[in-house]
Amino acid sequence: MTLLLRSTPCHEVAQALQQRASSVGFCTRVDPTIHRLRAQPLKPLEFGVYCGPEHPLFRQKEIDPAILAASDVVGYEEDRMAGALSTLTVWRVRHGIGDRFIAAATGIVDLSELIESGTAIGCMARGHAIRYGARLWQIPVPVSPPLVDVFSLVDTERHMTPVEYELLKFLETAGMVTLPTRRSDI
């Protein structure tokens, strides 16, 4: 069995499931108009605001609110106001965190590289940021960042191959999906 993992915006995940190009997807937003897709809520992600070694707030325990407010921001493509991660944008703007949005990434690896290599700040899930150790610094912002809901998606009408069935059965055992009714052994 070979797994292909790809990081794409939520609408592309739903599209791949509808086109039967994917067996399972994970998203931060669910389109309720697509009735074939079953969404199962997973544990929400805790986010933090991070910077890299070149940023003036790197390793600072006491932050200067003016520097935080004037910092350039990098984020995900779906951070924009109508995107799946727009709660991050709304939270940042509401609390005066960051000024100008200068770059968007499609996945966590690209985002962490943007934060680490530049002078911009960015919101990342804490669990992901921890993997980068000392290369990223969580800025001690004065307000709690939002939790972002995450869902697994499966196509309830999909005719699964035996391999797909076993994958989804494994994910169901881990509490990550609800297995659709098996329709055939293709």
Q: Which pLDDT does position 146 carry in this prediction?
A: 83
| Cα–Cα separations (whole angstroms), residue 121 to 75, 130, 136, 182 | 8, 16, 10, 46
| Model pLDDT, residue 50 | 96
Supply the pLDDT for residue 86. 79
- Measured CA to CA, the distance from residue 134 to residue 61 in angstroms comes to 14
Residues of the chain with pLDDT under 70: 1-2, 80-84, 181-186
What is the model's pLDDT at position 102? 92
Give the pLDDT of residue 53.
Answer: 95
Q: pTM score, two decimals? A: 0.79
Q: Return the half-sphere exposure (C-beta side, CA atoms, 13 A cut-off) of residue 17.
A: 26
pLDDT for the residue 185: 45
Q: What is d(CA 176, CA 26) in angstroms, rounded to the nearest whole number?
A: 9
Write down all domains in the chain, each with its CATH number in brackets: 10-43+149-173 (no CATH), 45-147 (3.40.190.10)
